[in-house]
Structure formats: structure tokens, C-alpha cells
Structure 1
């Protein structure tokens, strides 16, 4: 249920992002079209004859106006309907502006030139290609369909116009094609191409252009969607896992909502006497303190490949061995605890120079089976570890105060770290045995080792 909701939320954000890209694409297409149409208009002033300048420049100005309409109303609820109407208008303007004869020109001369040069076909291909700038598959397909209709309509228009000027009686529908074929055979010229091939070739070419451009836009949109989803997933994972694990997890298919039991090393750390330390301080200063503390602790956790489970007020919970257990989980957890103590000692040196009181932390570490899964409400899930191991690690962290210790670790954790071969004698020398201690809420005592507050955790 929650997975479906999360997916729906991601899909909704993706739709919004794609709509934003479409709006940005329309704005880009508007500016590009103004430049292109302006260039064409200037070129027509020099290249077109005096009788064609008005038609050509008029067509450019009309298409500039329609482009502005699409741009101005791109955020309107009726933007798509307007775009449909503007596309039809633009294709019609291109068609009329291309094949309408020059005023006063010899009958049929202009159409012969149009079909000999294929001007309409080329202009429509350019217009279709420019539609890709809209970043909308719908716009590309619509433009291609309108261009196909314009090509077929211009073919029929030319045949009828040539028949009229040649004094040919218009036959019935069944006899129209032979007459049209003879007319286009004369326009195209003998030995060039058959009228059927001439028309079909252009229609097929335009269809293929529409398909290729639409697929290109679709692939671009799909790539954007995959990129956004992957980045969102990566950012979500980065909240919990060390950077060296994020890329591996983002490329896999872990179902974090399915609970599963695994072995893990759990670490708790918090500030000793936090309430007294912050007493009388402004709220913003308390927040700033917590941000610095959390940042330092997170850096230690991620530096040793741990998973940041949660922030708990002035405390932090981390796990080592999630989502996948590693042979050196206990070693990395204990070294992380030692690094936390060193980090706070470095922090305290700067605080003393500013006349601020020293900070003391307490760390508890325990290894054992945990139940991993997404817990919380369907609107806010949190991937976390629960179970007896978590409770014991939390109790050991609280016991640090009674034993005047910075770190309290269970004997199982220290033994597993030493047996893995990664926890050296130099690491072990910081810990001294305390023996079995009674952990609140647990029947059996736990044998622990501690790092005293007075014993500096040297590197």
C-alpha cells in the first residue's frame, strides 16, 4: 500500500516536472521561431521577387503572431487546444503562402516551379523538425498529421487548379485520378518520377520524419523521468546509508518495506548532560549546536560504512551490517565509536578557545539479530532496526554515565571484532573489562568493556 502511494507521489512529481519542461520548451521554441522567421523574412526581401515579398513576409508575420499566442497562453487550461488550432493555422499559412500563384504571373508557371523545387514539402519538413523544440510528443505528432493533410490537400488543389486553367472538364470521382496523374506527369516532367511515386514518396518521408522526431522527444522525456526517479531514490538512500553504499543500492532492487531479520551491530551516541548544557541558551543556538553535533557524528558513521538509522534529539542511532551484513561490521562500529570520541575532543578544543563548555558524549555498541524494515505511518515511513539488540545498545549507552565511560561495548561485539582480524591490539587497548552488568529491562546480565572518559582515544 505504502509502496503504491510512494510510486504515485513520484509519478505526480514527474508529471509536474515534465509539464514544466514542456512550458520551458514552448518558451524556447517561441524565441527560436522568432529568430528563424525573422531570418526568413529578411532573406525573402532580397531573394523573392517584388510580387512574392508581400506573400512571404505576410506569412512570416502571421506565424510570429501565432507563436506569440502559444507562448503567452502556455499556462492556460486551454493551452493544448490553442496549440492544436495554431498548428493547423501555421500549416495552412505555409501551404497557401507556398503554392498561391504570383499575382499577374503566367497561368500555371508558379505551380510548375513549386512542384519542380518541392518548396512546400521542404518548408513543412522544417516546420515539423522545429516542433521537437516543444519537448512534447503530442505536438510533434499533431504537426506531422497536419503536414500530411496539407501535402495531400495541396496535391489535389494543384490538380484541380491545373485542370481548370487547361480547360479540362472535371470528371467524376472515379475518373479524377487519371486526369490528375496526367497533369502531374506534365508538371514533374517526363522520365523524372511517376505522379504516384512523387506523392507517396513525400507522404512516406513526412510520416517517417514525424515518427523519428516523436520517438526522439519521447526518449528524451523518458530519460528525464528515469534521471529524476534515480536521483530521488539516491537522495532518499543518502539519508540512511554511507555514500559508498548509495550508488550500489540505488542500482539494485531492494524492497525496504519488507521486514527481514539479520545480524547487525547497533551503535547509540548522545550528549551527556545536554539539557544542562543548553540551559539558558537561545533556541537558535541550541539548533546550531545540534546541527554541528549531528554533522560530526554522521561523518564518523559514513566514514566507517555505517547506516544512519535516525537522529533522536541530541542522540544518533546507527547500524553496521545493514542492509547487508559484512565480516567486519563489529570492527567498523567500534572504530566509529572511537572516532566519535576523537571528533568531539577536536570540537572541544575549538569551543574552549571561544569560552564555551566542553561536550561529553556516551556511546553504546552491541551486536546481535535485528529486524529491519520500514516503520511508521503510510505518510511517513522510516527504514529502521528494532529488536532486543537495539534495546541493549541503547541501555549500554545510558550505562556509560554510571561507569564514567565514553564508550560501553558488549563483550560479544569486542570478541567478534577481534576474531575478524580487523580489530588490532592497538584498537583493543582503549577498552578495559568491567564484567557482567545488569541492563535495565533485561533478565540476563551483559558482560561489557568500556573506554574511560579519562582515557584519551588516541589514534
Structure 2
């Protein structure tokens, strides 16, 4: 089973879709904010002064609508980042330039006395709804730079008074009223306020970027968990897959455990495939695998791998149930019954019946990952695997469908269950390449004391 790095393309596509949804949501929020601000200005600012601000809001809407229309392009982020600069430039212009429809004739420095700087936070918060960390940092940094640039231009005006300038003009020991008069002067600019504004803007940018990053990481974990769960359901029953999907990383380190290993293989498949169309062969294999995998999952097993015209499964290797030996025996019986039912359908449809061999063994196995890089496979290895494979081959010699080792029968008895209802003893057999003799049992259907044959 593979729980290596998940398909990167699939995850990237999920992230791209989520980011596009975030940008679309941010645009809707932007439009709602523009409408809310327009209604507020209509209530608070008299005509014709409000015309200046409504015109700015119209441009602000346009600067958002264009990148929104281009959000599905490969270079959509560049468009969004470019129009974000226009947004910041427009906002700074609206906040610092005198309103041409106002007749007060106030110095430009007076614009800094109003709390209009708060609109940067509204805009920045709307950007955070996109879920893009880079976009939040980009907008926050651009806003701080644009506001500071406007402040520097105002500070460069010849009539601008700052704290430093006031200290130079009044000098030490001068009347305190001079300080107050300078502070209240229309052309006075408080540098400390500017420093605080930029610092707070950058702090809020950092907080919103951290929030967007955390939301993205949460999305990544959800996507990875869903991909994990989808992949695991190919190898495990839904309940086992759900438990493993919640575990971080691999299902566990390399370890040795007692488990059952099952092999099932089609008998005579090579001859069958040689005389049939390739499409028919693949459809036949898919139908066979589907039935066998369903039996594995039904009995809480792990589908270790497909082996062309067969498969390998394990019970208790990845996650134990306390009845793994019994489940392995029950799975073998279910497979034999599933093949028998399938043959009834095939014969009625004019198709030839099929035969299978099933071998099951119990004992210590080594569980871990094999492979390299992105081609990792979580599997079980050891002598138990070899014996189970040999038992599957010996079913042909003994003319039965399934052979199970006596070790597995004893392990099933320790589970507290009676596995002998569908199995009968065959005796000791020599297992090729195992170097010894083991006791085996076979499935015997009613009325056939030779053992079950699906043919």
C-alpha cells in the first residue's frame, strides 16, 4: 500500500481551485464594502463634496472587477498584484489630495488630522479574505510605502511644521503657548503619528498574513487527509481507512507483528488471456479484482497489492482488530463463495466458469515501506508471505480452492471463534522452498469431501 507523498498535481489543482474561490469571495466582499462606504459617505458628506469620493469608489470597483474577470488565467496573480498597486495609489491619492469640490481652502497638511488612514485597514482586511499570504504581504507593504511616500511629499512642503522645526523655532525656555500654537497650526505634521500608523499597519499585515497562512495550512491538511482517505479506501475497509487517515505520516515505523497473509490467484488465466481480446481480458480482471477486494474489505483486511491475475492481502499487519486470524479464514471462504456465485452468473450468460486458488498463513511478518522517493509501498514481508503464496499454488495439487495453515487455524481458535465449520484437515504437506512440512486445512463445501473446487 502506498502512503508516500500524495499526487502533487491533484493537491495543486485543489489549492488552485480554493485560491480562486477565495479571490471570488474577496471580490464579493470588496463590492459589498464599496457599497457600504458609498452609503455612509452619502449620509455624512454633503453634495458636491461627496462626488470626489464616489468617483474614487467607482474607480476602486473597476480596479477590482478587471483582475476578478481574469482570475482563471495562469498569470492571474500578477494581474491581481498589479491592480493592487493601483488600488493603493488610488486610496492614497483620495486620502491625501485636497477635495476639489470642497471650498474650505485648507492646507494639505490638514488632511492628516482626520482618521481617514483607517481605510487602509479596511482594504487590507478585504485582501486577507482571498487567503493568499503573498497578496496580503504585498498589499500591506505597498500601503505602508504609499502612505509614507505621501507623507514625505507633504513633509517636503516649505510651510510644513514638524516637532523638530517647532523646537528650532521656539528654542529652549520659550513660552509654552508657542508650542501649543505651533501644534495647532494648520500646517503642523506630527511625525510620531506617522510612525505609529506605519508600525501598526505593518503589524496588522503580519497578523493577517499569519492568519491567511494558518488557513492555508489547514486547507492543505484537509486536502491531504482527503487524498489519504481516498487512497486508503483502495486498500482498507472504510473504518480502517478512516482511522489510518487520522494518523500523521506513515501508519507506523518498521515493526514485526503476527498477522495473516492471503494470496488469491486465477487458475489458467494465461491460457484464458491468450485467446481473448485485450479489452475483454481487462474487464474480466477488473470484475475479478472488484469481487476479491470487496471480500478483503468486508473482513477488515488490507489489500496489500494487485498481482495481475491475483492479489495479496494481510490481516493484522497494519492495524490489529483482535480477530485477524478469524477474519482471514472468513475472507477466504467469502472469496470462494463469491467465485461460485460469479460462475453461476457466467454460465447462465454463456461464459466459461473460472477457478481460483487461495492460500492463507499466519505468523510473524515485517511491516514497513519499500521503494524510493515518490514510489513508496507499504507492505509486509517475511517467510509467512512466502508460505501463503506456496499454499495458494498447492491448491492445484490438492484439487481445492483454499488452503490454510494449521498455525492460522490455531490463531483463529485463540480469537475465541470456531473456524472449523467450513474447513477440514488435510494433513501435513511439504511446502516447496519453505524447507519443511506444515499442517494445512482446506475448504470443503457440503457434499464434497474432496474440498471445494470452483470450475
Give TM-score, length-normalised by structure 2.
0.79
In the TM superposition, residue 224 of structure 1 has moved relative to its aligned partner by 1.0
| 1:147 matched residue in structure 2 | 143
2:361 and 2:387 in contact (8 A); partners too: yes
2:405 and 2:440 in contact (8 A); partners too: yes
| 2:420 matched residue in structure 1 | 428
Q: Take 2:95 and 2:196, find their aligned partners in 1: how far apart are those partners? A: 19
Q: What is the DSSP-based 3-state SS (H/G/I as helix, E as strand, rest coil) of the residue aligned with 2:401?
A: strand
1:257 and 1:374 in contact (8 A); partners too: no
| 1:347 matched residue in structure 2 | 342
1:304 and 1:336 in contact (8 A); partners too: yes
Q: What is the DSSP-based 3-state SS (H/G/I as helix, E as strand, rest coil) of the residue aligned with 2:436?
A: coil
| 2:165 matched residue in structure 1 | 175
- Residues 452 and 82 of structure 1: is their aligned pair in 2 closer, same or farther, counting only changes over 3 Å? closer
In the TM superposition, residue 300 of structure 1 has moved relative to its aligned partner by 1.5
In the TM superposition, residue 135 of structure 1 has moved relative to its aligned partner by 1.7
Equivalent residue runs for 1:363-382 within 5 Å: 363-376=358-371, 378-382=373-377
1:306 and 1:321 in contact (8 A); partners too: yes
Q: Take 2:278 and 2:65, find their aligned partners in 1: how far apart are those partners? A: 52
| 1:93 matched residue in structure 2 | 90
List per-residue Cα deviations over 1:147-172 (Å, max 9, x = no partner). 334555666667777x85xxxxx569
Q: What is the DSSP-based 3-state SS (H/G/I as helix, E as strand, rest coil) of the residue aligned with 1:101?
A: coil
In the TM superposition, residue 12 of structure 1 has moved relative to its aligned partner by 7.9
Q: What is the DSSP-based 3-state SS (H/G/I as helix, E as strand, rest coil) of the residue aligned with 1:288?
A: helix
| 1:124 matched residue in structure 2 | 120
Q: What is the DSSP-based 3-state SS (H/G/I as helix, E as strand, rest coil) of the residue aligned with 1:134?
A: coil
Unaligned regions of 5+ residues in structure 2, if any? 170-178
In the TM superposition, residue 330 of structure 1 has moved relative to its aligned partner by 1.8
| 2:23 matched residue in structure 1 | 26
| 1:360 matched residue in structure 2 | 355
List per-residue Cα deviations over 1:5-30 (Å, max 9, x = no partner). x55x7778756654554444334434
Q: What is the DSSP-based 3-state SS (H/G/I as helix, E as strand, rest coil) of the residue aligned with 1:436?
A: strand
1:26 and 1:70 in contact (8 A); partners too: no
Q: Take 1:391 and 1:455, find their aligned partners in 2: how far apart are those partners? A: 32
Q: Take 1:324 and 1:76, find their aligned partners in 2: how far apart are those partners? A: 45
2:343 and 2:354 in contact (8 A); partners too: yes
| 2:312 matched residue in structure 1 | 317
Higher relative contact order (CA 8 A, sep 6+): 2
In the TM superposition, residue 389 of structure 1 has moved relative to its aligned partner by 1.9
- Residues 238 and 198 of structure 1: is their aligned pair in 2 closer, same or farther, counting only changes over 3 Å? same
List per-residue Cα deviations over 1:233-262 (Å, max 9, x = no partner). 333433333332223333335757965433
Aligned residues: 438
In the TM superposition, residue 322 of structure 1 has moved relative to its aligned partner by 0.4
In the TM superposition, residue 187 of structure 1 has moved relative to its aligned partner by 6.6
| Counterpart check, 1:230 vs 2:220 | no
Question: More helix per residue: 1 or 2?
Answer: 1
| 2:174 matched residue in structure 1 | none
List per-residue Cα deviations over 1:121-157 (Å, max 9, x = no partner). 2322221111113321222223223333455566666
2:238 is aligned, of 240, 243, 257, to 243
2:95 and 2:117 in contact (8 A); partners too: no
List per-residue Cα deviations over 1:327-382 (Å, max 9, x = no partner). 53221111111122222333334434434343433211112233333334545332
| 1:191 matched residue in structure 2 | none
1:136 is aligned, of 132, 143, 149, to 132
List per-residue Cα deviations over 1:28-70 (Å, max 9, x = no partner). 4345545654675687678754443552243234333433454
In the TM superposition, residue 105 of structure 1 has moved relative to its aligned partner by 0.3
Unaligned regions of 5+ residues in structure 1, if any? 165-169, 189-193
Equivalent residue runs for 1:288-307 within 5 Å: 288-307=283-302
In the TM superposition, residue 413 of structure 1 has moved relative to its aligned partner by 1.6
Give TM-score, length-normalised by structure 1.
0.78
2:402 is aligned, of 394, 407, 410, to 407
List per-residue Cα deviations over 1:188-239 (Å, max 9, x = no partner). 9xxxxx9678656655654453233222211111101222233333334333
